[in-house]
């Protein structure tokens, strides 16, 4: 394995500095090429993102030319899914570019912190990226570095493609016009098309391949190829086929899996001819989901109620390694195909956290959104049919029976996935109300009582509200409320295994609590074990 590259030299913090018409307010990020600041454009009194070229790059003619080329490239495009360039300039030797400020996070950040989003959200994101690529292609622009880090997503699931720093124009005769030498490989190996790896000519279909790899990562929770070095990954893009997405995610619509694999065809001629075709086919998938034909996410809570199956919404439960050197599990082996309870729960509630913490900041114009990541959700109409069905079951089935409580759990998880915390808390609170009559033995063989289930659920809600101390106390109370002390951990483990989506939510909530506890405060031993539910299998220590 080759030695890691040395980190880029640090640049001074320019917060408070004025560059031309722009007052720098605070730093948003830093990466290999420079820094990005939130700034105020004084003449128009609006917020912008200002990208500053690092000092050593500013002295390099090629870097300066690329910086200018990026500004000129994006300035030619006016599209709602592409970050706009407002100005480029130089002030006292500092080369800068003013960009549209996007109040959101990168798709990579979301994957690292939360795992794959709900399926309709994922498809909506991919459609918007395809629309951006179509507009770029019509102007003869090839991005060459489509990846989750260069896709910004707002709370309302508006997508903005950014960072055209590696882009090149293709002239009318198909010949590339580029600042790089012929045969030079440029891009990110995890998402790089075979023709890029081999230094061959690129065109708009190169971006479609990278879109396919990004789609695979978005849906599976990890990219199709990983390796110990960049070279290992690059070779796999040329020589190997990814594991079929349908095996990784059996719950996905077959049509969506077909679209992703066609995008990742090794031969550009076998891919889609245009991004417009991709967008049209994704629209068909999205229409099917809105009509109730899709699933909620990586692990949906499927509950059979009075002869009908109702699918809950996943909170996103896969790990995303994100780095070339970290391979947490064999790619493509969806957890229930691997090794039983321990592998399932470790992958869903433990592994994603560690790898998400290791990601490096990027020089993209994103907002600092405080603790956690803004949840992604679609407008209500796509979710209304599923929610209506769950609410009907929750209200009409006999109270405190297993089907009724399972419908309530699915409904609460749906509300959590949409950040409707008050609604989720109301459902959990209603679970905790006394039953209208004594519950007969075996009437609903849940792993824990309704009261304990409600405590765990309300603790998850409190964690999402960043009320860490209250959440931790309630988690401890929930464990203590299980009657037989020697059976407590077995009951909690069974709960997480029976409802893996809820188990993931518990693990993610405790990890969030650990981040938000006051400095010097640690999780109680009992609650800390919930960070990785697989540890429950070993019993109390």
Name the residues annotated as catalytic.
145
Residue 483 CB partners (closer than 8 Å, separation 6+): none
Closest by CA to 364, choosing from 152, 533, 204, is 152
Residue 273 CB partners (closer than 8 Å, separation 6+): 205
CB-CB neighbours of 520 under 10 Å: 5
* Cα 221 → chain centroid: 8
- Residue carrying the six token digits 């979301």: 110
Residue 329 CB partners (closer than 8 Å, separation 6+): 319, 338, 343, 347, 351
Report how far residue 333's alpha carbon sits from residue 327's, in angstroms, rounded to the nearest whole number: 12
* Cα 504 → chain centroid: 15
Query: In sequence order, what DSSP letters do the residues of 203-253 get, joined into one string?
Result: -HHHHHHHHHHHHHHHHHSS-S---SSHHHHHHHHHH-PPPPHHHH-TTS-
- Residue carrying the six token digits 């879109």: 211
Sign of CA dihedral 468, 473, 479, 481: negative
Per-residue tokens: 510: 């405790």
Per-residue tokens: 462: 């409190």
Is residue 271 a contact partner of residue 195, using CB atoms and an 8 Å limit? no
Report how far residue 540's alpha carbon sits from residue 534's, in angstroms, rounded to the nearest whole number: 12
Burial class (CB in 10 A: 0-12, 13-18, 19+), 429: middle
Per-residue tokens: 448: 């824990």
Report how far residue 92's alpha carbon sits from residue 10's, in angstroms, rounded to the nearest whole number: 19
Per-residue tokens: 475: 């988690």
CB-CB neighbours of 135 under 10 Å: 19
């Amino acid at each position: 394995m080759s030695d890691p590259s040395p980190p880029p030299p640090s640049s001074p913090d320019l917060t408070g500095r004025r560059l031309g018409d722009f007052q720098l307010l605070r730093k948003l990020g830093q990466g290999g090429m420079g820094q990005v600041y939130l700034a105020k454009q004084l003449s128009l009194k609006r917020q912008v993102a200002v990208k500053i070229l690092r000092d050593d790059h500013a002295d390099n003619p090629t870097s300066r030319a690329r910086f200018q080329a990026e500004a000129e490239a994006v300035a030619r495009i006016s599209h709602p899914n592409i970050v706009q360039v407002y100005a480029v300039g130089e002030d006292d030797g500092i080369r800068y570019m003013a960009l549209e400020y996007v109040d959101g996070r990168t798709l990579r950040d979301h994957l690292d912190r939360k795992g794959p989003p709900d399926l309709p959200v994922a498809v909506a994101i991919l459609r918007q990226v395809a629309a951006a690529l179509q507009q770029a292609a019509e102007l003869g622009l090839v991005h060459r570095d489509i990846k989750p880090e260069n896709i910004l997503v707002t709370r309302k699931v508006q997508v903005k493609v950014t960072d055209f720093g590696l882009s090149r124009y293709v002239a009318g005769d198909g010949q590339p016009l580029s600042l790089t030498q012929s045969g030079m490989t440029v891009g990110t190996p995890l998402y790089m098309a075979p023709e890029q790896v081999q230094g061959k000519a690129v065109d708009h279909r190169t971006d479609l391949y990278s879109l396919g790899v990004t789609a695979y990562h978005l849906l599976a929770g990890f990219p199709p190829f990983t390796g110990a070095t960049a070279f290992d990954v690059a070779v796999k893009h040329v020589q190997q086929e990814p594991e079929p997405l349908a095996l990784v995610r059996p719950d996905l619509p077959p049509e969506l899996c077909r679209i992703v694999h066609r995008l990742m065809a090794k031969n550009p001629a076998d891919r889609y001819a245009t991004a417009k075709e991709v967008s049209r086919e994704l629209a068909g998938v999205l229409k099917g989901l809105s009509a109730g034909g899709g699933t909620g996410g990586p692990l949906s809570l499927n509950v059979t109620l009075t002869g009908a199956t109702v699918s809950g919404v996943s909170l996103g439960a896969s790990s995303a390694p994100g780095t070339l050197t970290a391979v947490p599990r064999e790619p493509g082996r969806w957890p229930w195909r691997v090794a039983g309870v321990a592998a399932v729960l470790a992958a869903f509630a433990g592994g994603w956290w560690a790898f998400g913490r290791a990601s490096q900041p990027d020089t993209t114009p994103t907002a600092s959104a405080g603790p956690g990541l803004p949840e992604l959700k679609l407008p209500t109409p796509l979710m209304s049919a599923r929610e209506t069905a769950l609410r009907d079951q929750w209200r009409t089935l006999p109270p405190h029976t297993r089907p009724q409580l399972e419908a309530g759990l699915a409904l609460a998880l749906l509300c959590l996935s949409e950040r409707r915390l008050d609604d989720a808390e109301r459902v959990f609170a209603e679970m905790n109300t006394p039953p209208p009559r004594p519950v007969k033995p075996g009437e609903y063989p849940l792993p824990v009582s309704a009261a304990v289930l409600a405590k765990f659920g309300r603790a998850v809600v409190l964690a999402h509200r960043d009320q860490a101390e209250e959440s931790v106390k309630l988690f401890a109370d929930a464990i203590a409320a299980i009657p037989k002390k020697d059976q407590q951990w077995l009951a909690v483990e069974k709960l997480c295994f029976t409802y893996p989506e809820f188990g993931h939510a518990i693990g993610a909530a405790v990890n969030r609590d650990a981040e938000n506890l006051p400095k010097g405060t640690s999780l109680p031993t009992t609650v800390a074990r919930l960070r990785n539910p697989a540890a429950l299998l070993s019993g109390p220590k």
